[in-house]
């Protein structure tokens, strides 16, 4: 499972239209684009409700904020890139990091330990099987900028490996949690599915 900020549909459509004619990269399916705040490899089923409650409380303590995507990067570096990504604007860095810390703390207390990786806010655009020299691609991606949008909720998402199109993961939103709201009563934000 993971906690993420989903993109607004207008941003998703604009970015997809920008990438569509650019062949030669294994672009991530636009339906799976998100900004991961916390990744939990394992969530004990007996603790899932507690996780939702604690995440709702954590999200409720962070005010909504504006975010814009832009500025390309790669992991581990441009000379041997295995992941291409877009970053977030400077103004969103602090609130996004605060939100990630709150979500990770809520997950830990709930017994769903998040991975220990440092938080680097990014939207993964491509995953490469073999590392490539990506300087040219990063210049192309740098040309795109998103219109700002308000982050007013996070999603708790279950990931089912290999169950999506072309053997990719299938994602299912388990709960939508509002930012800036009072802590929600147990189960209030659970989506039926």
Digitized pLDDT (tens) for each residue of the chain, 193 residues in all: 999 999 999 999 999 999 988 888 999 999 999 999 999 998 988 999 999 999 999 999 999 999 999 999 999 999 999 999 999 999 999 999 999 999 999 999 999 989 988 999 999 999 999 999 999 999 999 999 999 999 999 999 998 877 767 777 788 999 999 999 754 444 544 443 3
CA distance 37 to 153: 12
- Distance of alpha carbon 193 from alpha carbon 184, whole angstroms: 19
Specify whether 34 is catalytic. yes
> Is the residue at 141 inside a domain?
yes
Residue 184 lies in a domain: no
Q: Looking at the domain assignment, is residue 36 inside a domain?
A: yes
Q: Is residue 189 assigned to a domain?
A: no
Residue 167 neighbours by CB under 8 Å, 6+ apart = none
In a domain, 188, yes or no: no
Catalytic residue among 57, 77, 122, 171: 122
Count the domains in the chain.
1
Residue 122 lies in a domain: yes
Q: Do 41 and 11 form a contact (C-beta atoms < 8 A)? A: no
Q: For residue 95, how many other CB atoms are within 10 A of its CB?
A: 18
Give a yes or no: residue 60 inside a domain. Answer: yes
CATH assignment of the domain containing 97: 3.90.1140.10
pLDDT at residue 125 in the model: 97
Cα 166 to its chain centre, rounded Å, is 21
Whether 153 and 178 have beta carbons less than 8 Å apart is answered as yes
Catalytic hit among 34, 57, 77, 171: 34
Domain of 171 in residue numbering reads as 2-178
Is 187 within a domain? no
């Amino acid at each position: 499972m993971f906690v993420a900020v989903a993109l607004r549909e207008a941003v998703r459509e604009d970015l997809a239209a920008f990438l569509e004619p650019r062949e030669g990269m294994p672009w991530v399916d636009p339906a799976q684009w998100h900004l991961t705040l916390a990744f939990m490899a394992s969530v004990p089923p007996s603790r899932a409700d507690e996780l939702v409650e604690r995440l709702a409380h954590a999200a409720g303590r962070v005010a909504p904020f504006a975010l814009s995507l832009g500025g390309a990067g790669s992991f581990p570096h441009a000379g041997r890139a295995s992941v291409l990504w877009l970053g977030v604007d400077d103004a969103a860095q602090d609130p996004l990091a605060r939100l990630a810390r709150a979500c990770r703390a809520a997950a830990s207390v709930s017994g769903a330990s998040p991975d220990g990786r440092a938080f680097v806010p990014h939207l993964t655009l491509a995953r490469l099987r073999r590392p490539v020299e990506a300087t040219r691609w990063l210049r192309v991606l740098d040309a795109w900028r998103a219109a700002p949008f308000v982050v007013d909720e996070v999603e708790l998402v279950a990931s089912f490996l290999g169950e999506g199109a072309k053997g990719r993961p299938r994602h299912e939103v388990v709960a939508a949690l509002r930012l800036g709201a009072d802590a929600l009563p147990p189960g209030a934000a659970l989506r039926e599915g």
